[in-house]
A and B are shown apart, each in its own frame.
Chain A
Amino acid sequence: MEATKVVDAKGLACPMPIVKTKKAMNELETGQVLEIHATDKGAKNDLAAWAKSGGHELMKHEEESDVLKFWIKKG
């Protein structure tokens, strides 16, 4: 999946993955995709809920040797 921007939140604890994601998202245009890498397990539920409440679309997420990867399309 083609991402416009990548946020590296690996090694960061809650709330930093969401804080960084939100900041990066502000710089994108509607329809563009943000890729997020995190290691905090809680990021999964929080990013999904945050995307939903902000009108964004969580398109895909996968787990690669302890790194959680997310692709969120700006709404």
Chain B
Amino acid sequence: MAVKPMTSKEVAKKVMNKEPFFILDVRNEGDFADWKIEGENFDYFNIPYFELLDGVEVIMDKIPTDKEVLVVCAKEGSSVMIAEFLSEAGLSVSYLVGGMKAWSEHLEPINIGNLKDGGEIYQFVRLGKGCLSYMVVSNGEAAIIDSTRMTNVYIDFANSINAKITHVFDTHLHADHISGGRVIAEMTHATYWLPPKDAAEVTFEYRALEDGTEVTIGTTAINIHALYSPGHTIGSTTFVVDDQYLLSGDTLFIDSIGRPDLAGLAEDWVADLRESLYKRYRELSEELVVLPAHFMILEELNEDGSVAEKLGTLFAKNHGLNIEDEEVFRKLVTENLPPQPNAYQEIRETNMGKINPDEEKQREMEIGPNRCAVR
């Protein structure tokens, strides 16, 4: 039987279409337990590849014959070997091209909607890590918000739609992934905006993003309006785009809210987080479509694979927006928090420009889920 390569893009389709699928993950048990390819109708079996060097007979009864089977490892090599063993044993299977490394870096662009004066807003879904970034396009100009370090994806995409990148933003100093903002700005001569309160220690030039900052993209007035919303970090800023979209960064997610401890000051920032979510957001139109910087679970994805919901719906359904008692709220966001993202301190220092790890090291730092929320 033949062994077929399968790309992250093909796997992403299966996740979004909720297809039944079987994953044989041959990484170490700890790595699998920590982080895997999530799919609503996916089944899994995990056994490290080195347990199978003498043959795959021991797992033949674990592999279904009525479903597509994908062998997955960290970087590809071991999955090819195991897929070949299975093929020799008579099964038809695929391996994941580039392994979990490629899966973690795959971005799926989705058109979220049109802007009033022409133009579009795109969401780039990083399924492997739950990161969401955005491109606002109008009249041949593009702005990028919360970009990942896969800078070429945005630059190529902008080229493909004949848009010039003129502004790059980060809603806050990220702790779970390495921002591509500075690199994109340098490569395209765009302006790089950061909230100054998160940027106190950065080692490079940036434009200060203050409450009320207005930036126009294109010749038509597609305003990106900044709204100061501290709590997840002290500088966290939300954008209102075209009076239609609320880019909430890591302050508000679909099914959860931002955690205030990743920059080390949970107790100090509880009150800020509460004020941002319970007062500043309450003053906004409930018709705004919330576009966050992360999702945590697949249930947060819409039918088309996008992550977006009206603010009014979140006020009704998001538990984190419905805790009346301030003490209960304080406890939720400061006690029993989930583990912190992998290498989050080093990631913050990289985003400040203090350290400059090479690409392989950056990849390693970003391994695993994002863990930016409390629920």
Contacts and interface: CB of A to CB of B under 8 A. Distances in A.
Interface string B350-371: 0000000000100010000000
Majority-rule SS of A interface residues: helix
Contacts of A42: 74-75
A14 B53 contact: no
Interface stretch (A2-10, A30-38, A46-54): A46-54
Contacts of B75: 13-14, 42
Majority-rule SS of B interface residues: helix
Contacts of A18: 49-50, 53
Nearest to B49: A15
Interface string A15-41: 110110010000000000000000001
Contacts of B28: 45-46, 49
Nearest to A12: B77
B73 interface: yes
A15 B78 contact: yes
A14 B73 contact: yes
A45 B31 CA distance: 10
Interface in B73-89: 73-75, 77-78, 81
B51 interface: yes
A53 B47 CA distance: 12
A41 B360 contact: yes
Interface string B18-30: 0000000000111
Contacts of B31: 45
B48 interface: yes
B77 A53 contact: no
A50 B48 contact: yes
A49 B81 CA distance: 19
Contacts of A50: 48, 50
B77 A22 contact: no
A53 B48 CA distance: 10
Interface in B222-244: none
A53 B360 contact: no
Interface in B108-151: none
A14 B48 contact: no
6 contacts: A13-B77, A18-B49, A49-B29, A49-B50, A53-B48, A53-B50
Given A16-B77, A18-B53, A49-B29, 17 more contacts: A14-B73, A14-B74, A14-B78, A15-B78, A18-B50, A19-B81, A22-B50, A41-B364, A42-B74, A45-B31, A46-B28, A46-B50, A49-B28, A49-B50, A50-B48, A50-B50, A53-B51
